[in-house]
């Protein structure tokens, strides 16, 4: 195995601590509890996946940490555009699918790569997939992301937001899977600011998401709300299986399928030529699945 940097070890420990904090705080809002699955990867490395299911608040959620290392396969060489022979990556990935259509789905990923050619980089981001037009929630979400990013790297939010709008766009549908957030990739691993950005993003998660969950978890919802949520979950599945880099990287690096695909919702709908009722909140919601400004 290649020799890893001190920075790698520090971030690995940080992400493990963050996983414990996040799962503990989410459990306080539910009747269900996370179960833990510790796994090993025969090619090198392993991880700790925590899953919550069938709760009164969270229908399905996963918070996973992993450290994966090994040889750079031909498939990875093509994807990463590298001639390195060995790689190592540590990361945290989470996706929370609430039961209520009034609470948005959220995704966060933080990852750090090192290669044996001294090339290293950070990637990650947070994005929100709401199902009901609570505009104040969208503004809170983006305001907090702007504050987090700009406090570490001045004026970086606007760049990372634009990157997210582009990345999470479902090209064959002509729409985003949600209302975006921030996204970055291939940020120089030797730049200390990028390490700080990864830390700050992880630390901001609870302050970003929990206020929305607490505000919406007791709101009533009906079968029409649920139908729309399931249709949009279908879009979520389409994006993850066709475009998502993390999913593609995981499968090409012989990753553990259960952990890679934990991001998929427990239920989704693929209704033929589905369209919302005129003047419904769902028709209104569709216009928000396009890039737009949420904070000045």
* Separation of alpha carbons 115 and 119, rounded Å: 5
* Separation of alpha carbons 170 and 240, rounded Å: 10
Helix 157-167 vs helix 135-152: angle between axes, to the nearest 10 degrees?
Answer: 130
User: Residues with catalytic annotation?
Assistant: 107
In whole angstroms, how large is the CA radius of gyration of the chain? Answer: 19
């Amino acid at each position: 195995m290649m020799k890893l940097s001190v920075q790698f070890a520090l971030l690995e420990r940080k992400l493990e601590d963050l996983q414990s904090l996040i799962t503990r705080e989410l459990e306080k809002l539910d009747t269900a509890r996370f179960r833990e699955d510790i796994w090993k990867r025969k090619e090198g490395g392993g991880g700790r996946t925590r899953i919550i299911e069938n709760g009164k608040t969270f229908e399905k959620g996963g918070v996973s940490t992993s450290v994966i290392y090994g040889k750079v396969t031909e498939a990875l060489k093509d994807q990463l555009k590298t001639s390195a022979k060995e790689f190592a990556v540590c990361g945290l990935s989470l996706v929370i699918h609430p039961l209520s259509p009034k609470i948005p789905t959220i995704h966060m990923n933080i990852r750090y790569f090192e290669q044996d050619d001294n090339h290293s980089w950070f990637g990650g981001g947070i994005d929100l997939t709401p199902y009901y037009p609570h505009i104040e929630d969208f503004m809170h979400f983006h305001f907090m992301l702007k504050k987090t990013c700009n406090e570490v790297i001045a004026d970086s939010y606007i760049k990372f937001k634009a990157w997210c709008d582009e990345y999470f766009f479902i090209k064959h549908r002509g729409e985003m899977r949600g209302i975006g957030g921030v996204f970055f990739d291939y940020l120089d691993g030797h730049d200390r600011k990028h390490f700080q950005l990864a830390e700050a993003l992880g630390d901001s998660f609870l302050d970003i998401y929990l206020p929305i969950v607490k505000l919406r978890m007791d709101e009533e919802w009906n079968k029409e709300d649920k139908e729309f949520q399931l249709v949009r979950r279908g879009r979520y599945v389409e994006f993850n299986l066709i475009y998502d880099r993390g999913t593609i990287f995981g499968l090409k690096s012989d990753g553990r399928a259960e952990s890679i695909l934990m991001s998929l919702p427990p239920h989704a709908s693929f209704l033929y030529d589905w369209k919302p009722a005129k003047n419904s909140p769902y028709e209104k919601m569709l216009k928000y699945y396009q890039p737009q400004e949420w904070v000045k």
